[in-house]
């Protein structure tokens, strides 16, 4: 059996054995991929997986309607696996809630993929550490961050002003992100109103910054937010900037450790403070 056939067979078996009430995976929708929720073993044949599957399905685990269907088996690429480990570390899901149908690249840049099997969260964390410990952001992103960091602060302000000006505040970025699971988002709290909800420059600036900040040490690099943004705002530049800082300054990479302490919310006596006088 090839990878896809094994994946489908596992999905059918989990549903048949009652180990999962729903399989959340990808199906074909024209030239695109869409999520599919399979509750009947006979439906497992509709599962597909390839590089076009950019949505992070772990985002569904916060949805009340989906939570009634737990335990769920979830098709997960390495960044999605990291999201699942992060959600477990943050007590959003339990070991018994999820079976991970782990998929990953067969080899560097080949476009081919392989199936690692149906894993528990603990096995997923182990797989991540063994096989995907060196997951790095796309080099283009790092290049872009570097070149933006090299220009004047006014030029950066102008770049982001233009980028954020397109934001309509549809919150697709938030919806697509598994780490954004607050039932009431900060931007929806209006007594007092901290962040303007109007699609105007100051509110857009505050929203996009705070969204990235709240994902600090939690973003797993899946790029679902950027893929979700209808306006093409380069959100990953912010996410990667923060993730790199989290890794370099505090040694924290999100979603590898089921017992990880959160970056914001924990501290060390010898954290960097050369910027403090």
- CA–CA separation, 28 and 49 (whole Å): 9
Q: Which stretch binds other proteins (CB under 8 A): 2-10, 108-116, 125-133, 151-159?
A: 151-159
Region 11-40 residues binding other proteins, contact defined as CB under 8 A:
29-35, 37
**Nearest approach, Cβ of residue 33 and other proteins (Å):** 7
Cα–Cα distance for residue pair 61/126, rounded to 1 Å: 21
Q: Which is nearer to other proteins, 17 or 154 (CB)?
A: 154
Is 48 a binder of other proteins (CB under 8 A)? no
Long-range CB contacts (< 8 A, 24+ apart) of 25-30? 25/49, 25/57, 25/74, 25/75, 25/101, 26/53, 26/55, 26/57, 26/75
Nearest approach in angstroms of CB 14 to other proteins is 18
Using CB under 8 A as the binding criterion, the count of chain residues that bind other proteins stands at 86
Contact flag: residue 181 with other proteins (CB under 8 A) = no
Distance in Å, CB of 129 to other proteins, minimum = 24
Scan residues 55-84 and list those touching other proteins (CB under 8 A): 55, 59-60, 63-66
Nearest CA-CA partner of 214 in 107, 69, 24, 86: 86
**Residue 113 or 160 having the CB closest to other proteins:** 160
Q: Please report whether residue 171 would count as binding other proteins according to CB under 8 A.
A: yes
If the CB atoms of residues 122 and 182 are measured against other proteins, the closer one turns out to be 182
User: Per residue in 219-249, is it b (16+ CB within 10 Å) or e — as a string?
Assistant: bbbbbbbbbbbeeebbbbbbbbbbbeebeee
- At a CB cut-off of 8 Å and minimum separation 6, what does 182 contact? none
Question: Distance between CA 235 and CA 39 in Å, rounded?
Answer: 34
Q: Is 191 in the site for other proteins (CB under 8 A)?
A: yes
Residue 48 or 127 having the CB closest to other proteins? 48
What is the closest distance, in whole angstroms, from the C-beta atom of residue 37 to other proteins in the complex? 5
Residue 231 touching other proteins (CB under 8 A):
yes
Among 9, 172, 247, 258, the residue binding other proteins under the rule CB under 8 A is: 172
Instruction: Supply 231's token pair.
Output: 């306006």
Of the pair 32, 129, the CB lying nearest other proteins is at 32
Evaluate whether 130 touches 97 at the Cβ level (below 8 Å). no
C-alpha distances in angstroms, 128 versus 1, 94, 204, 258?
A: 24, 18, 35, 11
Residue 104 parent element (H or E): strand 98-105
Q: Looking only at residues 237 through 266 of this chain, which bind other proteins when binding is defined by CB under 8 A?
A: 237-238, 241-242, 245-246, 249-250, 263-266
Scan residues 93-132 and list those touching other proteins (CB under 8 A): none
Distances, alpha carbon 19 to alpha carbons 22, 38, 56, 119, 258, in Å: 9, 13, 22, 12, 21
In the complex, least distance from residue 196 CB atom to other proteins, rounded to whole angstroms: 5
Stretch that binds other proteins, among 10-18, 96-104, 136-144, 190-198 (CB under 8 A): 190-198
State which residue, 5 or 155, has the beta carbon closest to other proteins. Answer: 155
């Amino acid at each position: 059996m090839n990878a896809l056939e094994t994946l489908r067979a596992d999905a059918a078996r989990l549903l048949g054995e009652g180990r999962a009430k729903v399989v959340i995976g990808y199906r074909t929708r024209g030239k695109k991929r869409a999520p599919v929720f399979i509750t009947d073993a006979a439906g497992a044949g509709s599962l597909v997986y390839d590089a076009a599957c950019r949505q992070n399905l772990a985002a569904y685990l916060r949805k009340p309607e989906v939570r009634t269907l737990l335990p769920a088996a979830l098709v997960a690429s390495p960044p999605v696996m990291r999201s699942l480990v992060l959600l477990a570390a943050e007590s959003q899901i339990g070991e018994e809630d999820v079976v991970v149908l782990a998929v990953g690249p067969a080899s560097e840049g080949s476009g081919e993929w392989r199936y690692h099997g149906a894993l528990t969260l603990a096995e997923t964390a182990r797989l991540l550490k063994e096989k995907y410990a060196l997951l790095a952001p796309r080099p283009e992103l790092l290049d872009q961050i570097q070149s933006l960091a090299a220009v004047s602060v006014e030029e950066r302000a102008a770049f982001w002003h233009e980028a954020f000006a397109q934001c309509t505040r549809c919150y697709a970025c938030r919806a697509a992100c598994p780490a954004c699971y607050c039932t009431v988002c900060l931007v929806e709290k209006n007594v007092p109103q901290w962040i303007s909800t109007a699609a105007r420059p100051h509110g857009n600036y505050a929203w996009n910054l705070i969204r990235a900040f709240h994902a600090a040490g939690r973003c797993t690099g899946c790029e679902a937010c950027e893929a979700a943004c209808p306006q093409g705002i380069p959100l990953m530049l912010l996410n990667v900037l923060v993730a790199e800082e989290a890794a370099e300054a505090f040694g924290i990479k999100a979603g590898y450790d089921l017992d990880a302490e959160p970056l914001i919310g924990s501290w060390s006596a010898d954290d960097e403070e050369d910027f403090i006088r």
